[in-house]
Structure 1
Amino acid sequence: MKEPGSISSDMMVDEIMRKWPATVAVVLRYRMLCVGCPIGTFHTVAEACRAHQVDEDLFIPDLESAVRGQG
């Protein structure tokens, strides 16, 4: 079971950025165009990573670090 505040690949990108605003900086750092994108409300983390050719195994821990205030 994932701990509270943890991010999974099946979560919606928009939901993550709204719930944890610090993650917006991570999304921008990876040069993903999700910020303000209307598709962000429908794209999961996994789908966004595939669309932007981002390594999900690196991206999710960076998002989680931002949530914890370490990123």
Structure 2
Amino acid sequence: MSRWPSTIRVFLDRRMHCVGCPIAPFHTLVDAAEEHALLLAGLAADIELARLRDSQVSARHR
């Protein structure tokens, strides 16, 4: 989340409390999806889209 800030919105939109959770640094994406009864494929795809948006914005500002 610190590297790709737009991924935060993905978690918040799903009402996942990973943002700011003290255990979040120890969980994988698989753990988080299971904990919140979400399909990993959909969560991962949305996170990847958000990450790509951050990368594109970053590349434009270089």
- TM-score tier by shorter-chain length is 0.7 to 0.9
Distance 1:56 1:29 in 2: 15
Distance 1:69 1:19 in 2: 12
Alignment pair present for 1:54 and 2:60? no
Q: % of aligned pairs identical?
A: 41
Aligned counterpart in structure 1 of residue 13 of structure 2, from 25, 29, 45: 29
Consecutive unaligned residues of structure 2, counting only runs of 5 or more, are 55-62
Q: What letter is aligned with 1:30? A: R
RMSD: 1.3
Q: Which has the higher helix share?
A: 2
Q: List structure 1 runs of 4+ shifted beyond 4 angstroms.
A: none
TM-score (norm 1): 0.71
Which deviations, in whole Å up to 9, do the C-alpha atoms of 1:22-47 show, x marking residues without a partner? 10000111111100000101000000
Aligned counterpart in structure 2 of residue 66 of structure 1, from 41, 50, 53: 50
TM-score (norm 2): 0.81
Distance 1:35 1:61 in 2: 18
Distance 2:26 2:49 in 1: 23
